[in-house]
Amino acid sequence: MPLLSLEGVCKSYWRGRHELVVLDDVSVEIDAGELVAIFGQRASGKTTLLRIAAGIEPPDEGIVRFDGCDLATLRRPPRLAGLHARVGWVRRAGPLIASMDMLDYVALPLFGGAHHREAHRRATRALRDVGANELARATWHELSDAERTLVMIAQALVRRPALLLADDPTATLGVEERETVLALLRSTAEATGAAVLMTAPDVPDMLRSHRVMSLSDGELIEPTARRRGAEVIDFPLDRGESA
């Protein structure tokens, strides 16, 4: 059984009298221990897809299952809170308090549910696991974009989630920094058994993933071929295009 599955998911938004179709009959299955990357241009619906996968936003149509459970049955707060505790989200925003150090920031999701000492212990381990333990006492404004990304991944992992979602985590990074982050996401999936679903603005960012897909015109497209060991991914033609 896949850890996460979307079946026939549709989502639209209205802009005045015009309907904008973001997701059109999207179906995908993701297994535990798998890194799946979705390529798409800006405003292609990638973030909406992740929000629906996380149970943050309901689809207009279709079924979303997490660990075999239909998310539509988890609308009551206690059950939904239990779901969110098993989902890690790599956020792109820093702490609201500028003086907060990164140890507290990474531990933030644990405060209220664990003793501060235990929260800090787990946050320290999360920072070490992503190779950022030296950033524990730094503040957000002192970090580079690459360091911020590592800290955000550590915060997403501190609760040891079964599903990790990352929305364009490499968008502001250089080539070497992207490689580091992508290798980290893949090793996280393989070492912890978490399912990792990431979106990417560029095709090369997907090459370390176990599977790649493209989101275009609301349709999730799987490649027809991917050569092992080569940076070649062939996607079917988008709707409306001709050879």
Domain boundaries of the chain, sorted by first residue? 1-86+162-176+187-243, 93-160
If one compares 127 and 223, the residue with the highest pLDDT of the two is: 127
pLDDT greater than 70 at residue 226 = no
Q: What is the mean pLDDT of residues 117-138?
A: 96
Nearest to 118 by CA among 160, 166, 163: 160
Give the burial class of 15: count Cβ atoms within 10 A of its Cβ; 0-12 exposed, 13-18 middle, 19 or more buried: exposed
- How would DSSP label each residue in the chain? --SEEEEEEEEEEEETTEEEEEEEEEEEEE-TT-EEEEE--TTSSHHHHHHHHTTSS--SEEEEEETTEEGGG--SHHHHHHHHTTEEEE-S---SSTT-BHHHHHHGGGBTTB-HHHHHHHHHHHHHHTT-GGGTT-BGGGS-HHHHHHHHHHHHHTT--SEEEESSTTTT--HHHHHHHHHHHHHHHHHH--EEEEEESSGGGGTTSSEEEEEETTEEE--SEE-TTSS-EEPPPPTT---
Give the burial class of 32: count Cβ atoms within 10 A of its Cβ; 0-12 exposed, 13-18 middle, 19 or more buried: middle
If one compares 171 and 33, the residue with the highest pLDDT of the two is: 33
Its pTM stands at 0.86
Nearest to 58 by CA among 45, 75, 43: 75
Q: Are 9 and 61 in contact (CB under 8 A)?
A: yes
If one compares 125 and 224, the residue with the highest pLDDT of the two is: 125
Q: What is the mean pLDDT of residues 132-149?
A: 96
Nearest to 154 by CA among 209, 97, 108: 108
Distances (CA, A) of 202 to 4, 127, 206, 228: 24, 27, 8, 19
pLDDT of residue 230: 46
- Residue whose tokens read 């989101």: 215
Mean pLDDT for all residues in the chain: 86
pLDDT confidence of 162, banded at 50, 70, 90?
very high
pLDDT confidence of 115, banded at 50, 70, 90?
confident
pLDDT tens digits for range 196-211? 999 987 766 677 889 9
User: What architecture is domain 1-86+162-176+187-243?
Assistant: 3-Layer(aba) Sandwich (3.40)
pLDDT confidence of 227, banded at 50, 70, 90?
very low
pLDDT greater than 50 at residue 229 = no
If one compares 232 and 18, the residue with the highest pLDDT of the two is: 18
pLDDT confidence of 43, banded at 50, 70, 90?
confident
